[in-house]
Every structure is written in structure tokens, then in C-alpha cells.
Amino acid sequence: MTRPTFQIDGKPVTFTEGQTIMEAATAAGVYIPHLCHNPEFEPHGSCKLCTVKVNGRNCSACTFPAADGQEVLNDTAELNELRRTITQMLFVEGNHLCPSCEKSGNCQLQAAAYFLGMTDAHFPFFYPRRELDASHPDILLDRDRCIFCALCVRASRDVDGKNVFAIGGRGIDSRLIVNSPSGRLADTPIAATDKATRVCPVGAILIKRHGFEVPIGERVYDRHTIAEESLEREEP
Ligand code: SF4
Ligand code: SF4
């Protein structure tokens, strides 16, 4: 029996019923930029970096179901310009100062910026005032770098069973909330071995006393583009 197929940038992609465009494309070796998507978790569809055109309409590839005969556009100048703008906005909505960040070289936001050819932030920085939480003996939470991907929220709830994190507020007032009476990480059951502490795509959740164990220049995205690394990590 012929398997259902859609076209992505003119390339045929076969898929299994129930797969999203992101899942089918990744399985076929086609990279669609993304930040809040992680194949280990339910899709969230919030960062919009994976916006593709499906039969002429903008859709989030991580949530939109694949269907037979779809015409999908992914790697186009228009879509990459949109993604570059989204990435620039993520930089200015937080406090992203890469040269002083322990995550530099291992950071998906930074790597996506390189991949998309972002050369400056373009917009004025918002410099939001966000609280740093160093209360936990093993974990540092630097909210300045949070991009609200909700991966820690999903990991803590669905894998660790601890429900430590939530996202509150809207727009520039969005905040990562720690679910404890004091609002501090030290007063939650989170541990450094939890999935929630390992899944952050940026430098917002860091394990203490491990900084710069891997030298700059030898980190994941110093050696591979985010497209190469992502396809290697996520292909079934
Ligand atoms: Fe740069 Fe990523 Fe650190 Fe932000 S989290 S400062 S983008 S390396
Ligand atoms: Fe995502 Fe990290 Fe922010 Fe959690 S702390 S929402 S994993 S960026």
C-alpha cells in the first residue's frame, strides 16, 4: 500500500498517520528550526520558530498534523526572515549576553541565531528585571535567560512528577514561577538529577559547580550546526 506523502520544499516526505509535520520532516532528515519543541514531550507550539507554510497558510510544524498531498514550504527566504525576527525578539525580551553566559556554545537559542544568520538584535533591549534564584545548593535559576519554552514545566510535571515550575504573566511580564510557598527553588523537591534541570535549551537552569567543564570552542554548537545536531538527536 502506498504510504501517505506530502511535499516539503518540493521533496516528498512519507509519513505515518498521526505524525505532525515536524515529526515526519525530522524522520525524513529535514530540519525545521524550533526551540520549544522536544520530541520527548507533548508539543507546545509557543515559540513559533517552526512556522511553515502549509498550502499557503502559516502553521506551527510541531503541532500541525501531516496530511496526504500537503504542499509545505520550510526553507524559504520569507520564513527564515520571520524566524530571524522571532529570534531577535527572544534576545531583546530577555537579558542575553552570550560572552558571559556559561551556556554559550551549548545554547539552542544562540545556535538558532547563528543558523538563521542573525548578526544583531535589531530591536532595542527591554532589559526586564527578573529575579535570579541561587537558593538551591545544586541548581541555579537565572530567569534573565528564560525564553518561556515550558520544557522545564513539562519535564517536571510529566517526567519528574514534581510540578516545580509554571509560567505566569503575559508578554514582557511573563515569569517562570517556582511552585513553593516561598517561591524559591530551595523549598521545592527538585534535584540536580531531575529531567527538568537537564532540558532547558538556554542558560536559564544551570547545575552549580559544573560551569565551563567543557571549554568554549569544544561545545556542541561549536562543532555542529543546530540543524546537524538536532537531526542527529531527534531522528528516530
Ligand atoms: Fe546567549 Fe544562550 Fe546564554 Fe542567552 S542563554 S546569553 S542566547 S548563550
Ligand atoms: Fe524553558 Fe529554560 Fe525557561 Fe524552563 S527555564 S521555560 S526550560 S527556557
pLDDT score, position 236: 57
> Would you call 166 helix, strand, or coil by DSSP?
strand
Domain 5-75, CATH? 3.10.20.740
Q: Are the beta carbons of 87 and 79 closer than 8 angstroms? A: no
164 lines ligand 2 (CB under 6 A): no
202 lines ligand 2 (CB under 6 A): yes
Is 0.90 exceeded by the ipTM? yes
pLDDT score, position 173: 85
Question: What ranges do the domains of the chain cover?
Answer: 5-75, 102-226
Low-confidence residues of the chain, pLDDT below 70?
A: 1, 235-236
Q: Are the beta carbons of 31 and 112 closer than 8 angstroms? A: no
150 lines ligand 2 (CB under 6 A): yes
pLDDT digits (tens, 9 = 90+) for 18-41: 999 999 999 999 999 999 999 999
User: Residues of 130-163 as b/e, b for ≥16 C-beta within 10 angstroms?
Assistant: beebebbeebbbbbbbbbbbbbbbbbbbeebebe
> Would you call 177 helix, strand, or coil by DSSP?
strand
Pocket test for ligand 1, best of 100, 106, 110, 114 (most atoms within 8 A of CB): 110
Q: 13 CA distance to ligand 1 centroid (A)?
A: 34
CATH label, 102-226, candidates 3.30.70.20, 3.40.50.300, 3.50.50.60, 3.40.50.1360: 3.30.70.20
Q: Are the beta carbons of 145 and 192 closer than 8 angstroms? A: no
